[in-house]
Chain A
Amino acid sequence: MALVDRIRYCRRREPARFRPFLVAGRRVGWVGDRLVDRLRGFPRTFAVDDRAVRLADALTSFDSRSRAVAEAVDRLREEGWFPGWRDELFPVGTSFHAPPLLQIERAAARHFGIRCYCVQLNGLVERDGELQIWIARRALTKPIGPGKLDQIVGGGVPAGMGLRACLIKECAEEASIPGALAVLARPVGAVAYLRQEGDIADDEVMFDYDLALPADFTPVNADGEVAGFELWPASRVKAVLGDTDDFIFDVALCLIDCLIRHGLVGPSDPHYIDIAEGLWSAPAEGLAA
């Protein structure tokens, strides 16, 4: 195994089994065959053909779209769809800064392949000239990736919350990083991928931040989502990323980006170019390609 395998995992596509989900003529997601078939039962809300699933043209406003989709999603939930119901509405749109076209229950968003935006933090410590990275182990109760290795802080950006505010909130909840420290986090780029498998299309844009943490700071989890933290030399992070799939797959992209930016994965890696280009493998927003 090699670092490039982490990239390849995130690029899995099953184009024959997913159809683009269009709202107002713009692609906002991907729907797997099984759900496509079921959505045919809601002809006033979804128009299904061989090429795409379209939200009915008669639904022209944020409210009417959100209401119609919620009715369908509630019915499907009763049939056992969308495990891990969150009671949290998630915005659906064609870009992060554009006004959303509708909103949808978060647990259903993954099944509609809605793009999710996250903030992800590299907690860094410089010790004796070597970069060290705080690593979290996800709680065994997490619905996605229980027990997997993770960054110190990361999370989806809820509707209506700014990136910086979201980062500060997650810093407090996940690692007890005080606000005065969290505001020093520096944006350093973003990675993105689209991964299709089974019923799920994960389409994620992850905004990355670096935060230099004081040597005497120890993260403490406050929300039960983290089983523990460890401070690892970057070389160990690199080795575990390359040799195992112990890190949750999407966070692996953020950490590889971190290693590249800090010069710890360089041109001597035979896959350097493929890795760097593969850190953004998602299609353009709004486009079906």
Chain B
Amino acid sequence: MSLLDRFQVIRPPDLSQYRRFVVDGHTVGFVAAPLADRLREHGDIFTVADATVSLTPDLRGYADRTAAVDRVLRTLQRDGCFPGWRKEPYPVGPAFGTWLFEMERAAVPPFGVRAYGIHVNGFVGRGADMRLWVGRRSRRKPTFPGQLDHLVAGGQPAGLTLEENLLKECAEEASLPADLVRRARPVGITSYLSETEEGLRNDVLFNYDLELPPDVVPVNADGEIEEFVLWPIDRVIAELAGAANFKFNVAFVIVDFLIRHGFVGPEEPDYVDLVRALRRRPSADAVR
């Protein structure tokens, strides 16, 4: 495959087939018809109209909304909705940092709610000598088992700042000390909107670069990563353009890394399409 083929997994939705999920006057997600039909059964909490599913305006505060939605989600879960319940609340709102309530992570794609994550490109050396740390996910992980991953990556749960989450994930996944992690530099985002089996993945990944000293070897502490390997950039490119089993969004973030560091340049015929594929186009997001 080519680098651009890595992006073919993105299936942009026809949003006219979805109802906007409206909370306190803000669109915070997109709900497909089958879930909307189930939510009609909970008319005290959700109002299902032709183009919208709204949280009842009687619910005013963060805590009240969270509790009411959670009751409905647990009822639906007993009927088989939301497989892979994680007991991990994700924040929901019209913009990052403007949160209206929180909901179980497994329900985030079915509601088309924007989810946020952090991805850390851990690299050693500069220029032609640069190497990138790549992790292999545990085969026991429920999601994307055995796939290639970043040095550190994780979803952004409710109640943590990005920096707190970065420190936590770097400690759990790679045993990196805080004073080293604080050198991580935010370098941009990757985003996409894609129909998947679990629902609508409406993701924003906050990308960081972290230059590691050559003598720092990451050690996984939470059982989620089976092994870490340090690949020269040429190998990273070859594996990405080959058949290597990268987790889909990790491939996006690494392509962004390769472009920012000049390892993939504009002489590459797909360059314009690659850069464009890295982030959702604003024209597609009249609503978020």
Contacts and interface: CB of A to CB of B under 8 A. Distances in A.
Interface string B165-204: 0000000000000000000011111010000000000001
Q: Which 10 A-B pairs have the closest CB atoms?
A: A186-B262, A263-B185, A266-B186, A187-B265, A276-B189, A97-B269, A207-B266, A190-B275, A277-B279, A187-B262
Interface residues of B: mostly helix, strand, loop or mixed? mixed
Contact of A276 (B266, B269, B279, B283): B279
Interface residues of B, number: 30
B185 A273 contact: no
Interface string A184-209: 00111110100000000000010100
B87 interface: no
8 contacts: A186-B261, A210-B262, A260-B186, A267-B96, A272-B189, A277-B281, A277-B282, A289-B283
Interface residues of A, number: 36
A284 interface: yes
Interface in B136-192: 162, 185-189, 191
Interface string A159-186: 0001110000000000000000000001
B77 to A, nearest CB: 30
A263 B166 CA distance: 15
Interface of B: 95-97, 162, 185-189, 191, 204, 206, 259-262, 265-267, 269, 271-272, 275-276, 279-283, 285
B85 to A, nearest CB: 28
Looking at B204, B269, B271, B272, the one whose CB has the most chain A CB atoms below 10 A away is: B272
Nearest to A13: B283
A273 B267 CA distance: 28
B276 A192 contact: yes
Nearest to B96: A273
Nearest to A274: B282
Contacts of A289: 283
A11 interface: yes
A278 to B, nearest CB: 5
A285 B191 contact: no
A270 B95 CA distance: 8
A163 B266 contact: yes
Contacts of A272: 96, 189
B97 A163 contact: no
B259 A189 contact: yes
B189 A190 contact: no
A95 B272 contact: yes
Contacts of A192: 272, 275-276
Contacts of B283: 281, 283, 289
